[in-house]
Amino acid sequence: MANGVRAVWVYPLVSVVVWLVALMLFLYFFAAGRILLLGLLAAGIVAATLKPIADRVPGPRWVGALLAGLGFIVLTVGLVALLSWRLTGAVEQQIAQWPELREQLNGLLARWSGRFGLEQPVTVQTLVQEISGFVSGTTLQQVGTRAAGIVSAVGLGLAFAFVGSIYLLAEPAERLLRPVERLLPARRHAALRGAVADLEPRLRWWFLGTLASMLIVGAASWIGYTIAGVRFALPLALLAAAFEIVPTIGPLIAFAVAALVAATQSATQVVAELVVYAIVQLLESYVILPLIMERAVRIPPIVTLATVILWGNVFGPAGLLLALPLDLLVWTVLDRFVAGTERAADVRAATTVPRGRMAREA
């Protein structure tokens, strides 16, 4: 160059500095930042699920967003109230027998500990502490002491997800992406829009697949446990349904708990519980996954297992619930920005200038 002066690309340098500052602030305020990140992800999941419904509502965009969001809230609250009304009495009757069952489980674990030569016998409480510490890095005592904070964080996250989903549905995607695009070079705009276009259906099918999996697994487990004569059939079925949201690890924990309960009865009940678990897993593998979940989730099980433990330790219990959506988010970003996957339609959408804009510029 003239006079030996080297060119300096100011825009990329500014973008790098801005991203570094944002990352430092996120790490510094990590406790608040992770709630914001997970809340935004949850809002994106709900918005992606409701988008086909909101798009079919005639009138302004905000009307469809408001009706879809409020309808989802009413439906969720109604289903929770209905299930609570129908199941609370039966669950309470069986849970009332928990002290007796706990003593039986502790006696069973003590006998097993003696056979394996353990100096300190394993108890139900220590077993729960070890599992919670392994998965999420949080002990049972820490969960108990921070119960109020956890409840408030969950409530705040749900409110953020519901309100945020309505906002995401009401605002055009172009307007929401504009601030992020300003931090990226122009050649990356197509990748950003392609990532959002890829992530939306993946999150939608994950949400629908998870709901279907929870309902099917819960109902099948309850029927199987009842036929097999396993005690606490309804609470164990509800536990199996709830733990379906945690991939790989959740079903194994639910199976282990059901096996321990069955072991307090007889070896026959353990075999029956194992048969029920195998049937439910076959039903999930050959019905739920092929029809619904494979449209969104094609991550190898070993990767899923590792990332569940990772997100659980980084984000706590909320990281376990949103482990697969976090995987999908990272996977989509890497696919678009690192692997460089671009589709011709994305490139045309990013490079094509509308005719009206061309006329104005001319």
Distances (CA, A) of 353 to 104, 169, 174, 328: 72, 25, 14, 31
Query: Does residue 13 belong to any structural domain of this protein?
Result: no
Q: Give 10-residue mean pLDDT values along the chain (362 residues).
A: 50 65 68 76 91 89 89 86 80 79 84 80 78 61 53 66 86 83 83 89 89 89 90 89 86 89 86 90 77 67 81 81 88 82 47 39 35
Segments forming the whole domain that contains residue 70? 28-349
Distances (CA, A) of 136 to 29, 69, 143, 157, 352: 20, 31, 11, 18, 47
Cα dihedral 204, 207, 209, 215 in deg (nearest 10): -150
Task: Quickly list H helices, 7-29.
Answer: 10-28
CB 205 within 8 A of CB 295: yes
CB 231 within 8 A of CB 101: yes
Query: Does residue 14 belong to any structural domain of this protein?
Result: no
Query: Does residue 100 belong to any structural domain of this protein?
Result: yes
DSSP string, 114-130: HHTT-SSPP-HHHHHHH
Query: Does residue 265 belong to any structural domain of this protein?
Result: yes
Cβ burial of 174 (10 Å; 0-12, 13-18, 19+) is: exposed
Q: What pLDDT score was predicted for residue 51?
A: 92
Backbone angles phi, psi at 119, to 5 degrees: -70, -45
Q: What pLDDT score was predicted for residue 153?
A: 59
Q: What pLDDT score was predicted for residue 50?
A: 92
Cα–Cα dist 52/297, whole Å? 20
Domain total for the chain? 1
Query: Does residue 169 belong to any structural domain of this protein?
Result: yes
Query: Does residue 8 belong to any structural domain of this protein?
Result: no
Cα–Cα dist 191/350, whole Å? 9
What pTM, to 2 d.p., does this model score? Answer: 0.76
CB 215 within 8 A of CB 241: yes
Query: Does residue 12 belong to any structural domain of this protein?
Result: no
Tokens of 164: 């945020």
- How many CA atoms does the CB half-sphere of 66 hold within 13 Å? 6
Query: Does residue 205 belong to any structural domain of this protein?
Result: yes
